[in-house]
Copies of this chain bind each other. A is one copy, B any other.
Amino acid sequence: MSSGRHLAKGSGTPDVPEDGILRLYSMRFCPFAQRVHLVLDAKQIPYHSIYINLTDKPDWLFEKNPEGKVPALELVREPGPPVLTESLLICEYLDEQYPLRPLYPRDPLKKVQEKLLIERFGPVLGAFFKASDGGDLEPFWSGLDIYERELSRRGTLFFGGEQTGILDYMIWPWCERLELLQLQRGDDYNYDEKRFPKLTEWRERMKRDPAVMAFYMEAEVQAEFLRTRSAGKPNYNLLVKDA
């Protein structure tokens, strides 16, 4: 298993055993990569994490996938081996290839409706990044209104029902980062529990989910990473004990 150290240009190929286990090229602070970790962990699929320094990517990464993208999943047992990119497509593949503990609904209509809600989160996460960067907070809250209404309409513990489903995991990385937003915005931060009663309870429930806990990161650490990145010297290895 990876130590969590992010490999940079000049690093040798990853020190991972040739054991046929999936390899996930990831970055510890990336919310898109987090989606794939969540799905792999929720489905209890074994995998090796290989973390990449995105500011100074190792050359061998481009041999794996020409665009050097992260997250990328290497299917080491398949001829090639193929390397999949795009967080949503990787998650769909995993849910089809590993049918135990399904995350997508089986019914085609329910499935497409879930995908549409994931698609509609695109502008919401865009609004998160803007708010995190000092922009207006309201567009992010307005985006979350859709999910508050939806959870209220469903009347379930999670979007997936009585247990987590794909929508829970696909939107979680940005919902986990509410505390980061609070740290960044200080007195400006105006999350309103009365506006988001269902999402507030849902977040507490999600924080106790094993897959969420396995990749959870304290807001202070996220903030420290972003601080070093803004200063032009991103410290990818904040979580590595001997960093």
Interface residues of A (CB under 8 A from B): 75, 78, 82, 84-86, 89-90, 92-93, 96-97, 108-109, 111-113, 115-116, 119
Contacts of A84 in B (CB 8 A): 112-113, 116
In the complex, which residues of chain B have a beta carbon less than 8 angstroms from the beta carbon of A89? 112, 115-116, 119
Q: Given the complex, which residues of B lie within 8 Å of A116, measured CB to CB? A: 84-86, 89
What's the least CB distance linking A90 to chain B, in Å? 8
Bound CA span A92–B75, Å: 24
Write 26 A-B pairs (CB below 8 A) sorted by A numbering.
A75-B109, A78-B109, A82-B109, A82-B113, A84-B112, A84-B113, A84-B116, A85-B116, A86-B116, A86-B119, A89-B112, A89-B115, A89-B116, A89-B119, A90-B112, A92-B112, A92-B115, A93-B108, A93-B109, A93-B111, A93-B112, A96-B108, A96-B111, A96-B112, A97-B108, A97-B109
CB distance from A103 to the nearest CB of B (A): 14
Query: In the complex the two chains form, what is the Cα distance from A97 to B86 in whole Å?
Result: 25
A92: chain B residues at CB < 8 Å are 112, 115
